[in-house]
Amino acid sequence: MGSGDRYSGFVFNPADLSEDVDVDVERRREILFADANLSRWTLWEVLGLPWNATADAAKAAYLDKVKVFHPDRYGGKRLGSYRGRLERVFRKLTEARDTLGDEPRRAAYARATAPADEFAKLEARKLEDDRRADERRARLSRQNPLLGRVARVAELVQRGKQAFLEGRFSQAANDLQVALTLDPKSVELASLVADARRKAGATRAADHYDRGVSAEVMGRSAAALAAFKEALEADPGNVRAAAAATRVALQLGDVAEARARAEAAVRAGPSIGLAHEALGMVLEAEGQRREAKKALERALELDPRLESAKERLKKLRWSFLG
């Protein structure tokens, strides 16, 4: 890859490129470019990551970057002015890892730095979803069930299975469903359809859920709630989405909505801690402290790693005393 496009618009100082040190020219460009951009870049950009990349991604990127930018990696070499540059970049990398590798700090930083085009993307994705749904409907109506039934079924089943294997579950569900209407007695087909539908629902739900989390991070609670609801429509048994919807609804002050979501969560996952935590939050908001405490304790019993529930319970106990 030519360095021209990677550093497009950046002018290197010839004196820096010709300094008498033991660093090859390509590496010099990399160091000079990073050093010059440190104050302009977000911490994600410092690590070479997209906005809102995960904490684990930040830690992994850090390990790769330090191999280039830690002065100790240049043992026995003359570094001249590059030593100082490397040190500056390394310190910034460490700051980025420390901030973005820590979940609460990462979330705060994400909120503070959410770029305008990410909001736009959020809207665009919704439009894209609608367009795809229309396309599906159109395709369904085009298909004629009366001609070449058997060949058609075989083709649909093959295509559907292929889509299933590739993880395109909605595509698979569609094709197999059409095949099933042509051949309604096939037990194998019926179970395949059910399987694909369930998977498709879960995938769509995960998609909506991620969208909801992004919206929540950007402080758009209403959009987040809508996304979580969509996730639940796609997969009514998604406890994660139900719990998230409860949380956001409470943020919006809609206790009734929150209650409905929390109850749905407990119904869907009676043995999942997250669901009981959601119920606990609603009960606490409704002022039923004793019940709330019970629900949170149940949540912790089911999942001892629920730090948020632990915190909440601790606060609740304190307020009992007060």
Residues that bind another protein in the complex, under the rule CB under 8 A = 63-64, 66-67, 70, 72-73, 75-77, 87, 90-91, 94, 97-98
Distance CA 220, CA 231 (A): 17
Nearer to another protein, 92 or 168 (CB): 92
- In angstroms, the CA 131 to CA 205 distance is 18
Question: How near is the Cβ of 29 to another protein at its closest, in Å?
Answer: 21
Residue 280 exposure: Cα atoms within 13 Å on the Cβ side: 26
Q: How far is the CB of 70 from another protein (least distance, A)?
A: 6
Minimum distance of another protein from residue 63's CB (angstroms): 5
60 Cβ contact list (under 8 Å, min separation 6): none
User: CA-to-CA distance for 227 and 224, rounded, in angstroms?
Assistant: 5
146-149 CB contacts, 8 Å cutoff, 24+ apart: 149/182, 149/183
- Residue (97 or 211) nearer to another protein, CB: 97
CA atoms of 39 and 252, how far apart (whole Å): 37
Residue type, 94: T
**Which residue is listed with tokens 């632990």?**
310
Nearer to another protein, 92 or 247 (CB): 92
3-class state of residue 186 by DSSP: coil
Q: Using the minimum distance from each CB to another protein, give the nearer residue, 89 or 309.
A: 89
- Backbone φ, ψ for residue 104 (5° rounding): -60, -40
Token pair recorded at residue 291: 């019940």
In terms of CB distance, is 92 or 152 closer to another protein? Answer: 92
Judge contact between 23 and 82, C-beta under 8 A: yes
| Cα separation values, 271 from 9, 145, 206, 240, 282, Å | 57, 45, 21, 13, 18
> What length does the chain have?
322
Q: Which is nearer to another protein, 64 or 128 (CB)?
A: 64
**Cβ proximity to another protein, 75 vs 184, nearer residue:** 75
Residue 142 burial by Cβ neighbours in a 10 Å radius (0-12, 13-18, 19+): exposed
Least distance from another protein to the Cβ atom of residue 96, Å: 11
Taking the complex as a whole, the smallest distance from the CB of residue 229 to another protein amounts, in Å, to 34
**Start-to-end CA span in the chain (Å):** 65
Distance CA 236, CA 196 (A): 16
- Least Cβ distance, residue 106 to another protein (angstroms): 14
CB of 74 to another protein, least distance (A): 8
Minimum CB distance to another protein smaller for 3 or for 94: 94
Residue 186 Cβ, how far from another protein at the closest point, in Å? 48
